[in-house]
């Protein structure tokens, strides 16, 4: 299967890529059909199909994407960059090999300032109760760490602390009477 993967073939033949950064585990190369100046693919060297299979190395992959983005800022004069992750076919992952995309962004281009998430229309039919239901289901869902370890401490949430509970109550009080979506509008 990996023999048929175009990314695995490119990884085996580095002279066929325009590599802009490489580590022991990842290679970042310019896309041959760029959608932006400096459009770069960040690809794990192992044939991994998803972020879940990447496990603990996902942070390392984001570090590579950040380095590529900074190189676009410093080398191409980009004013910013977007890191895009499409995990699974339904999310738009077009290869059976996990990857990230770095799109350098330039303030003089038409798409400047448009977040990559702008393709999603607001779900006007959802209310705060729906959002709280989603939160409860997601918080209680199991987490399968394919790397064999437990989630890193910064991903664990401890509700036993009085200080944490107090912070949660303060956040809820500050949002009382307002739509949760309005409170999160700045993150769209």
Same-domain pairing of 55 and 88: yes
159 token code pair: 């509700």
What is the predicted pLDDT for the residue at 113?
A: 80
Cα(140)–Cα(136) distance, integer angstroms: 6
Cα(122)–Cα(110) distance, integer angstroms: 22
Same-domain pairing of 145 and 66: no
* pLDDT over threshold 80, residue 60: yes
Query: Could you say which of 119, 145, 160 is where a domain stops?
Result: 119
Query: Could you say which of 61, 87, 119 is where a domain stops?
Result: 119
Residue 31 near residue 20 (C-beta atoms within 8 A)? no
What is the predicted pLDDT for the residue at 18?
A: 94
Same-domain pairing of 96 and 8: yes
Same-domain pairing of 40 and 102: yes
Q: How many helices (H) and strands (E) does the chain have?
A: 6, 5
Could you tell me the pLDDT band of residue 138, with boundaries at 50, 70 and 90? confident
Q: What is the pLDDT of residues 67-77, one digit of tens each?
A: 999 999 999 99
60 token code pair: 């390392």
Query: Could you say which of 119, 141, 176 is where a domain stops?
Result: 119
Same-domain pairing of 81 and 153: no
Same-domain pairing of 11 and 100: yes
Same-domain pairing of 140 and 113: no
Q: What is the pLDDT of residues 78-132, one digit of tens each?
A: 999 999 999 999 999 999 999 999 999 999 988 888 887 776 667 777 778 888 8
What is the predicted pLDDT for the residue at 141?
A: 76
What is the predicted pLDDT for the residue at 11?
A: 96
Cα(136)–Cα(127) distance, integer angstroms: 15
Is the model more confident about 169 or about 40? Answer: 40
Give this prediction's pTM: 0.70
Same-domain pairing of 111 and 30: yes
What's the structural domain count of the chain? 2
* pLDDT over threshold 70, residue 156: no
How much is the average pLDDT of 42-47?
A: 97
Same-domain pairing of 96 and 132: no
24 token code pair: 């022991």
Q: What is the pLDDT of residues 159-187, one digit of tens each?
A: 444 454 444 444 444 444 444 433 433 33
The CATH number for 59's domain is: 3.30.428.10
Give the largest Cα separation in the chain, rounded. Answer: 59
State which residues form the domain around 145. Answer: 128-187
């Amino acid at each position: 299967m990996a023999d048929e993967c175009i990314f695995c073939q490119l990884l085996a033949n580095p002279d066929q890529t325009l590599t802009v950064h490489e580590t022991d585990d990842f290679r970042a190369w310019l896309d041959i059909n760029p959608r932006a100046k400096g459009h770069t693919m960040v690809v794990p060297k192992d044939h991994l199909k998803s972020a879940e299979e990447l496990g603990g190395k996902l942070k390392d992959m984001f570090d590579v994407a950040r380095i590529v983005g900074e190189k676009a800022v410093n080398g191409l004069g980009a004013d910013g960059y977007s890191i895009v992750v499409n995990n699974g076919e339904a999310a738009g992952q077009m290869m059976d090999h996990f990857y990230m995309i770095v799109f350098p962004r330039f303030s003089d281009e038409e798409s400047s300032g448009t977040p990559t998430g702008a393709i999603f229309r607001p779900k006007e039919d959802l209310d705060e109760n729906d959002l709280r239901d989603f939160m409860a289901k997601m918080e209680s869902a199991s987490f399968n760490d394919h790397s064999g370890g437990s989630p890193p401490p910064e991903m664990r949430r401890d509700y036993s602390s009085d200080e944490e509970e107090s912070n949660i109550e303060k956040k809820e009080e500050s949002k009382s009477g307002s739509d949760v979506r309005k409170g999160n509008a700045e993150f769209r």
